[in-house]
Structure 1
Amino acid sequence: MTGERARVIVVGAGIAGVACARELAAAGVPVQIRERARVVGGRMASKRFDGRPADIGAAYFTVSDPDFARVVEGWRAAGLAREWTDTFVAYGADGRRAVPGPMRWAAPGGLRSLVTELAAGLPVTVDRLVLGVEPGPSVDGTPCEAVVLAMPGPQAALLLDPALADATRAVQAQQWTSTLSAVLRFPHRRWPDFAGAFVNDHPVLTVLCDDGDRRGDGEPVLVAHTTAEFAGRHLLQPTAAAAGVEEAVRDLIALPEPADHVHVHRWTYAKPAAGLPEAYHLDDDGVGLAGDAFGEPRVQTAWLSGRDLGRALARRLTA
């Protein structure tokens, strides 16, 4: 597709946008992906500290759909993904207890590495800020036959021309919550044995993961995710929340020594508050929306949404 004008422009290189673009490319539809960040991945984000990745977005993913399972098996065969744990612990008013559940998957190289692999061979332009989607449709004045906005609804709303009424209504139907994720690096592993923890009814914490266990290298690194209420007080200056998150983590699991370093990342739109009933949005104006807002807030949901939207667009454009 090199040199061809894109018939579809996908804005957002998270797993939903990349899955959509893969379907279009497989059907022979020229497509381009534009991503405002410097790397692909979206909320499947990881950041390196002294060369070691830590997941700062999604904590893990689960698998129940057979088509997604085949993708995951490819990642596993390539050494990119691994089964992590089927048991978390829960901290709450009744103390600490084990909570069995589905198998959670992790990535030794960080969850972002999975999106990077999925995007291989696709025309992706990173560090490209999109300013507007206009009727036609067009993206920043570049005409195309369809536009896919693979991002949280409030971000998509900022790009849409009001004349694109159907898409505007669709993004306004989405509700999102915020969180902060904090990577805490300690000098030693001195906490109770656990893979991950749900923290119930806590003023600061919702999830705590042993990143050394998740990554499989045993490094003394924890990653904490905060409540929306706590995050809301620190969205303007997330670094100021580091001390509060560290104190909450150390108190929860009785850590005797402080962290060597705490990095805090802000997610203004971290998680859809309520899933929409449809799998994706595609209107007569040629605007599509995909992501984990269309169902349960899961990595698998985002992949399915993007995949299904890509197939729907391919059918429309190749009919």
Structure 2
Amino acid sequence: MDLGRGPLTVVGAGIAGLACARALREAGRDVEVLDRGRAPGGRLSSRTVRGRPVDLGASYLTAGEGSPFADVVADWVDRGLVRPWTDTFAVVGQDGFRERKSGPQRFGTPGGSRSLAADLASSLTVRPGTTVREVTAGPAVDGRAVPAVAPAMPGPQAARLLDPSGPAGGLAAAETWQPVLAVVLGWTERRWPADLHGAFVHDDPAVEWIADDGDRRGDSAPVLVAHTTAGLAAEHLEDPATAVPAVVAAVRSALGIDEEPAWTEVQRWTFARPTAPREEPFGLVDGIGLCGDGWHAPAKVESAWSSGTALGRALAH
């Protein structure tokens, strides 16, 4: 592919977009990253709440043994950006604790997951606060010709930028995504088991997952983060705060907490996770590349990084 007309453009500074841009930069290509947010991160989102970072998007990292992403995570561990968290989570329901399940090692981020995006972006040209309105054949970004462009974002968002009658627009529009609300709940002291770590919630109409944010961050703060079901999120997307009472009730019931939280915060994710991520690592047609956790199934942080990296390498050759 001829990449001679100025920088290749990545739209979206989440982990897939940043991984794509880094792969291009490592191949010696000129690349820029445009993002409408104030800072890189996407769904690697953490926000300072009551004086400490709280993860609101991806709950943890995993890395396949011997995979390229495992090397990235190992480097983050060495530099203190990531810490081993746990390989065991609880399973709870409306009636409380049911069992414990072990799985792969999960990693948390002491400084918040956005710190990983900042690290990936550190050697890149990232232009925050930049809203892209259209990506057209050629390709071009808002009428500016580029050698290639990678809208690195959930398909429904990419579809808004692309020509719906074009092949890339058709690929993006074919994706369906579910919403989630992330509700942060803070107490004055911890009121749940020290070895909770996190809990998958079964058979509850309000909540699917609860993370012990103080445990995964390592500061023991009395803070939980609950992710809602897609159904509850869809009902409350226009006014997410109205979902909080149902989430509080579900968390208290599942974990046996006898007191209301001292405070709550809520974050809306309209496009939180793909309903059926593709097996292919990315889509590339006519100089327009699509990547992220809607590709390279199953959907997780490692998949998004791998998808963006694979697309970047394909564009570089």
TM-score interval, smaller chain: over 0.9
Matched, 1:25 2:25: yes
Q: Structure 2: which amino acid aligns with 1:167?
A: A
SS state of the match for residue 110, structure 1? coil
**1:258 to partner: Cα distance:** 1.4
**1:196 aligned residue (184, 198, 216):** 198
2:188 is aligned to 187
2:273 is aligned to 271
List structure 1 segments (4+ residues) > 2 angstroms apart after TM superposition. Answer: 4-7, 92-95
**1:281 aligned residue (273, 280, 283):** 283
SS state of the match for residue 274, structure 1? coil
Question: Identity over the aligned pairs, expressed in percent?
Answer: 48
SS state of the match for residue 88, structure 1? strand
Using the alignment, how far apart are the partners of 2:75 and 2:144 within structure 1?
Answer: 36
2:136 is aligned to 134
**1:129 to partner: Cα distance:** 1.0
Alignment of 1:151-300 (within 5 A): 151-163=153-165, 165-193=166-194, 194-283=196-285, 285-294=286-295, 295-300=297-302
1:136-189 deviations in whole A, cap 9, x for unaligned?
A: 1111122101010100000000000235x1101211221111110011111110
Compute the TM-score of the two structures, normalised by the length of structure 2: 0.95
Using the alignment, how far apart are the partners of 2:201 and 2:260 within structure 1?
Answer: 20
SS state of the match for residue 43, structure 2? coil
SS state of the match for residue 316, structure 2? helix
**1:51 to partner: Cα distance:** 2.6
> Which sections of structure 1, spanning at least 5 residues, go unmatched?
none
1:307 is aligned to 309
What CA RMSD, in Å, does the superposition of the two structures yield over aligned residues? 1.4
- When residues 221 and 36 of structure 1 are mapped into structure 2, their CA distance, relative to the original with a 3 A threshold, is same
1:14-48 deviations in whole A, cap 9, x for unaligned?
A: 00000000011111211110011111111110010
Alignment of 1:64-143 (within 5 A): 64=64, 66-92=67-93, 95-143=97-145
Kept in 1, the 8 Å contact 2:183–2:267? The answer is: yes
1:218-272 deviations in whole A, cap 9, x for unaligned?
A: 0000000000000010000112212221121112212122111111111111001
Using the alignment, how far apart are the partners of 2:132 and 2:5 within structure 1?
Answer: 17
Kept in 2, the 8 Å contact 1:157–1:172? The answer is: yes
Alignment of 1:2-41 (within 5 A): 6-41=6-41
**1:95 to partner: Cα distance:** 4.5
Q: Structure 2: which amino acid aligns with 1:106?
A: G
1:283-315 deviations in whole A, cap 9, x for unaligned?
A: 1x2100000111111100000000000000000
Using the alignment, how far apart are the partners of 1:43 and 1:80 within structure 2?
Answer: 17
Q: Structure 1: which amino acid aligns with 2:69?
A: F
Q: Structure 2: which amino acid aligns with 1:222?
A: L
Using the alignment, how far apart are the partners of 1:51 and 1:72 within structure 2?
Answer: 26
Kept in 1, the 8 Å contact 2:34–2:128? The answer is: yes
Using the alignment, how far apart are the partners of 1:208 and 1:201 within structure 2?
Answer: 14
- When residues 94 and 238 of structure 1 are mapped into structure 2, their CA distance, relative to the original with a 3 A threshold, is closer
SS state of the match for residue 214, structure 2? helix
Kept in 2, the 8 Å contact 1:5–1:30? The answer is: no
SS state of the match for residue 105, structure 2? strand
Using the alignment, how far apart are the partners of 2:97 and 2:210 within structure 1?
Answer: 15
Using the alignment, how far apart are the partners of 1:70 and 1:97 within structure 2?
Answer: 32
* Bigger Cα displacement from structure 2, 227-236 vs 127-136: 127-136
* Bigger Cα displacement from structure 2, 246-255 vs 227-236: 246-255
1:120-140 deviations in whole A, cap 9, x for unaligned?
A: 020001111111111111111
Q: Structure 2: which amino acid aligns with 1:131?
A: R
Using the alignment, how far apart are the partners of 1:299 and 1:151 within structure 2?
Answer: 13
Using the alignment, how far apart are the partners of 1:282 and 1:274 within structure 2?
Answer: 19
SS state of the match for residue 100, structure 1? strand
**1:96 to partner: Cα distance:** 1.7
Using the alignment, how far apart are the partners of 1:47 and 1:66 within structure 2?
Answer: 30
SS state of the match for residue 74, structure 2? helix
